[in-house]
Amino acid sequence: VSRGAACMAARGEPSHVVAALGLDPVLARSAVRVSIGPSTTAAELAAFAAAYVREVGQSARAG
């Protein structure tokens, strides 16, 4: 999980792929990149999704 490609991390700019979606720049900079591989299981994805939703909810409530 990261905010973008490792080679672009120092720039602090949104990825060109996210920027190409035409999102507002603030929203584009808040994008999260999730990488999975062939050995990633459905259970691992479900656990990640549940944790992500929980953390985003807590973050939104905190302001």
Pair 27, 44 in one domain: no
Question: Is 8 in the same domain as 24?
Answer: yes
The verdict on 3 and 28 lying in the same domain is: yes
The tally of domains found in the chain comes to 2
Residues 26 and 42 reside in one and the same domain: no
Distance CA 4, CA 56 (A): 18
Q: Which domain holds residue 22?
A: 1-32
Evaluated on CA atoms 14, 17, 18, 21, the torsion sign reads positive
With left for phi above 0 and alpha for psi between -120 and 50, is residue 14 left, alpha or beta? beta
In this structure, the answer to whether residues 3 and 22 fall within a common structural domain is yes
Q: What is the pLDDT along the chain (63 residues), one digit of tens a residue?
A: 766 666 666 666 777 888 889 988 888 888 888 889 999 999 999 999 999 999 988 887 887
- Verify that 5 and 27 share a domain, yes or no: yes
